[in-house]
Chain A
């Protein structure tokens, strides 16, 4: 029969010698590997005291951005929800009223904005789709919780604090 590859190795099927049958050398070899691991670098980190460095393209928890004046950048255009493969993002838009110019950057804004973190797969398509630089994925790892309800992130959870308000305090 023609060989498919030339990587086949012929196995030695001769009976084992006395030293081989006692398994002493094999046990010593195995213990040697185990002992060797003591001197190797640990593969785990003691989270949360110690944190692994993230790659610069790590995609974690979402934030909704504000502009330099502290107004919300999101205009509820729906492109993040359209791009989302997990259909995790939902929103409802409203029109800005006179007097709300400092709160919202554009004449239309997201009155409700929600990300279902149970559905989110952290692909970052929402960040890529956003034409207004409003949504970003941060380097924060998504915190765990005991209830499913706590994974529905609303606009208050996502929006970054207003820098203008902090200055005045």
Chain B
């Protein structure tokens, strides 16, 4: 086979040579940084994904070297392949910035904005997107669509009202498992993710739909309402798993493992899919070999309280020892008074969300 031709593409005045057949979005990701359009539905690990959310729209100001006419409309960069000599404008184009603002408003039309309740808050792609590109208010005056809550099994909770119809979970189930049980029912405004006749999702790898979901429509039931994402500390860990790679990210608080997810790369995409056994059943520190704290972008809310160089409680009492010649006497042991974080209640060991009786039992 002959060598693949290289195409030169210019995105926001930055030129890069990419192999033919690369999409504009992937070319922009090769450059990295601000020129990369955001993507809500495109997922590089899932075949056929993309082209639905329209957040990655870019302006093609020069089609190619042979045909330098600009493309008449904004193009979805995840679906448009590069041509030789193509010139693309992303953040340098006013049209794109304006269109993206409109897209965010469209995505938020039916989104319930229940972020204070939602477990995805803090690591939600839609939250980040609207914070960065959206307008502060909606002009929508009608009732938002609502759905009846559907139970899709003991491990995954589905909040259809939050869904933005990106189809990522459908592709995940299609491409990772041999039997897909959920899909899109109805169409248009009534379209919804559902299983046919209340089936539960049970496949060894179905838990990955939680990770690919850009919003809080599919969340981990074993982590439901246990803690906020930014109060747990992400730690990279691995284990010898017979079904998957076993490379995961643990979300810990103290010694407790609250949640297990796959590791995500800088585009918010899963590095390696993990199995349900790792995700839902291995919630003890002794199950895992901990590699170290995960790298979290400084701008993320998850990075709050991560004090650099302060990992593992360095022995500060020794210093006080030298000064006053004795161990400091604590006048108040907070755990004697406090009801929160009681040592006998292990939230991470409760199946599903905690209820009033979990706290009230003595």
Contacts and interface: CB of A to CB of B under 8 A. Distances in A.
A166 B325 CA distance: 57
A154 to B, nearest CB: 6
A100 interface: yes
Contacts of B355: 94-95, 97
A15 B332 CA distance: 63
A152 B353 CA distance: 26
Interface residues of B, number: 30
Given A77-B115, A116-B334, A149-B336, A92 B359 contact: yes
Interface stretch (A23-31, A36-44, A105-113): A105-113
A131 B347 contact: no
A90 B224 contact: no
Interface string B295-334: 0000001001000000000000000000000000001101
B112 to A, nearest CB: 11
A132 B332 CA distance: 32
Contacts of A126: none
A123 B230 CA distance: 22
A113 B359 CA distance: 12
A94 B354 CA distance: 5
Given A108-B117, A132-B116, A91 B340 contact: yes
B226 interface: yes
A78 B228 contact: yes
Contacts of A116: 334
Interface in B9-63: none
Contacts of A118: 332
B225 A82 contact: no
Greatest chain A CB density within 10 A among B225, B341, B355 is at B225
A19 B69 CA distance: 102
A149 B337 contact: yes
A98 to B, nearest CB: 11
B358 interface: yes
Contacts of B116: 75, 77, 79, 106, 131-132
A128 to B, nearest CB: 15
B225 A78 contact: no
B341 A92 contact: yes
A94 B358 contact: yes
A148 B226 contact: no
B331 A106 contact: no
B232 to A, nearest CB: 11
A148 B331 contact: yes
Given A77-B228, A78-B228, A82-B301, A95 B354 contact: yes
B338 interface: yes
A25 B359 CA distance: 77
B4 interface: no
Contacts of A154: 339
Given A94-B354, A97-B355, A112-B340, 9 more contacts: A81-B231, A82-B301, A91-B340, A95-B353, A111-B358, A114-B338, A116-B334, A132-B116, A148-B331
18 contacts: A75-B117, A77-B115, A78-B231, A79-B116, A82-B228, A82-B231, A94-B359, A95-B225, A106-B114, A106-B116, A108-B117, A111-B354, A112-B339, A112-B359, A113-B340, A131-B116, A149-B337, A152-B334
